[in-house]
Amino acid sequence: MNALKEREDSIEESLRAADKAKEDMKELKLDNEKLLREAKDERDAILREARKIKEKLIEDAKDKANIEAGNIVENAKVRIENEKKAALVEIKNTIATYSIEIAEKVLREELKDKKKQEDYIRTLLKETSLN
C-alpha cells in the first residue's frame, strides 16, 4: 500500500510539475509573442525612418542637381554672351581694317595725279582753317 501511495504521490507530483511546466510554457510563449511584436514594431519604425532618410537624401540630391544645372546654364549663358561680344569686337576690328585699306587704295587711286593731290590738300586746308 505504501508503494501505491508513493506511486500516487509521484504521479500527482509529476502532474503538478507538468501543469507548472505547461504554465511556464504559456508564459514563455506570451513573452516570446510580446518580444516578437516589439521586434516587428521596432523593425517597422526603423524602416519608416530609413524611408524618410532615403526620401530626404533623394530630395536633397534633386535640389542640389537643380541648383548645379541652373549654375551650369547661367555660366553657359555668360560664356556665350562674352564670346558673342568678342566676336562682335573682332568683326568691328576687321571691318575697320578693311575700311582703312579700301580708303587708302581709293585715296592712292584718286591722288595719282599731282593736280588732284594739290586740289585735295587745298580742300583739306580750307576745312581745317574753318574749324
CA distance 110 to 49: 90
3-state SS assignment for residue 41: helix
How much is the pLDDT for 40? 96
Dihedral angle over CA of 75, 81, 86, 87, nearest 10: 120
To which residue does cell 571691318 refer?
95
- How would residue 8 be classed by pLDDT, with cut points 50, 70 and 90? confident
Average model confidence (pLDDT) across the chain = 90
How much is the pLDDT for 38? 95
CA distances from 9 to 1, 13, 50, 74 (A): 12, 6, 60, 95
| Structural domain boundaries in the chain | 2-130
Instruction: Write out pLDDT tens, residues 97-129.
Output: 999 999 888 888 777 888 887 888 888 888 887
Alpha helices in the chain (DSSP H): 2-110, 114-130
CA distance 28 to 9: 28
Instruction: Write out pLDDT tens, residues 65-105.
Output: 999 999 999 999 999 999 999 999 999 999 999 999 998 88
State the burial class of residue 111 (Cβ atoms within 10 Å of its Cβ: 0-12, 13-18, 19+): middle
Mean pLDDT, residues 52-69 taken together:
97
How much is the pLDDT for 89? 97
How much is the pLDDT for 130? 59
